[in-house]
Amino acid sequence: MKIDILSIFPEMFRGVLSESIVKKAIEKQIVDIQVTDFRQFAEGKHQVVDDYPYGGGAGMLLKAQPLFDAVEAVKSQEKAPRVILMDPAGKPFNQKLAEELAKEEQLIFICGHYEGYDERIREHLVTDEVSLGDYILTGGEIGAMAMTDSIVRLLPGALGNASSAVHDSFSSGLLEHPHYTRPAEFRGMKVPDVLLSGNHAEIEKWRQKESLKRTLIRRPDLLEDYPLGKEEATWLEELKKRNRKDRILVSCKKKPFTDKRDCGNLYECLE
């Protein structure tokens, strides 16, 4: 895969591309990532990439010409790439989209700044407008970094253990189950007995139940689209029946829980 990132602050990516999984994927030639300063494509002596909006208004807009020329310079001639505009008005980035983009041959990220973009960039240059969430960042660089990391780790050979990406939260549609490591007991807090039993079938069943429970508590919205199996549906009903404050779950489906403070004894009720 080839990933091209267009930014007027290319130095921001130095650390991200020279550490951890992304660095190893580049070294293994699993992915080729290039960061290009699209200011060099701006016409004129001063290479200005922004200008005032027609009709007036606050802020400056990125001009169409530098970005059109930059995309045309880096895109592959073999197959049209996905050109991704980092924009708070775009569709939310999620694991499903990461998996979709990981199948592409080339991705081009456009990192914006200022008030926005000339609309012709949206209409005639990009294929996707993507947002990390409902909040505003100074520029698109952080979003491009996050998406690049999420996509690269899905590429074959990028992770030391290929199953790691499969079992991550969201990959299965549910949040990931809890993890424990040595020691078996720390300050009176014990690892669940089943994980020490050596019974792999029971361990897998425990993990699936815990994954379902964690999703029910923290992100119940994910269950709306999750295809429950017969056994999972039974587990889910058992969890709800054992919850002495089931009415809280019902009334809070659109407000995911983040920690115990959100709902008194909810965690204990689901034990």
Q: Which residues are catalytic?
A: 88, 115, 153, 168
Q: Please give the Cα distance from 244 to 33 (Å, whole number).
A: 52
The CA-CA-CA angle for residues 217, 220, 238, to 5°, reads 65
The whole-angstrom distance between residue 27's C-alpha and the CA centroid of its chain comes to 23
Phi, psi of 84 (to 5 degrees): -110, 120
Q: Please give the Cα distance from 214 to 231 (Å, whole number).
A: 17
Is residue 6 part of an annotated ligand binding site?
Answer: no
Q: Which of 141, 123, 143, 140 is nearest to 132 (CA)?
A: 143
Is residue 133 part of an annotated ligand binding site?
Answer: yes
Is residue 142 part of an annotated ligand binding site?
Answer: no
Q: For the chain, report the end-to-end CA distance as a whole number of angstroms.
A: 45
Is residue 112 part of an annotated ligand binding site?
Answer: yes
On whether the CB atoms of residues 32 and 1 are closer than 8 A, the answer is yes
Is residue 160 part of an annotated ligand binding site?
Answer: no
- Which residues carry a binding-site annotation for S-adenosyl-L-methionine? 112, 132-137
